[in-house]
Amino acid sequence: MTTLPEMRDLTQRLLSYEACAGNTSEPVETTTHRVYQKLRLSLSELAGSAGFHALASRALSLARSEVPSLSAVQVGSDGNLEGISAIEPSIKAEQDRVHEGGVILISRLLGLLFIFLGEALTLSLLREAWPGAVLDDRNSENGRKS
């Protein structure tokens, strides 16, 4: 099973890739939301909107235990994140906390995908959503478990 540090590393790769692909003047939260939206679109095709909603709701629940400010965020019936603007940062320290909340949320969602879909299918879906991103070199065996 994958660990949270491995999922955080993968999340950081996706966020970095998305940040480079997007407008560099956008706030970090917007980049996190774009990653979430790409995951939502990709996974809804595979699992349907109800399946994605269930995974995203569980990931949000797990993330809230680590970042209480995420209590203002809900997963809508269509899988969209609602209330994310309610936790927008007003100062730098708050911005870092909001970014950390987004990283944890995406990490938890990826962790659930690895558990339920397996590493190969999850990485395949991620490669489709982010074709140019380096996603599977987490260890010396090109992302494969030994």
Can you give the pLDDT of all 146 residues of the chain as single tens digits? 356 788 999 998 998 888 887 665 555 557 888 899 999 999 998 889 999 999 999 999 999 998 888 888 899 988 998 877 655 544 344 445 456 788 899 999 999 999 999 999 999 999 999 998 887 654 433 333 33
**Gap between the Cα atoms of 22 and 141, Å rounded:** 30
**Gap between the Cα atoms of 93 and 19, Å rounded:** 20
**Gap between the Cα atoms of 29 and 87, Å rounded:** 10
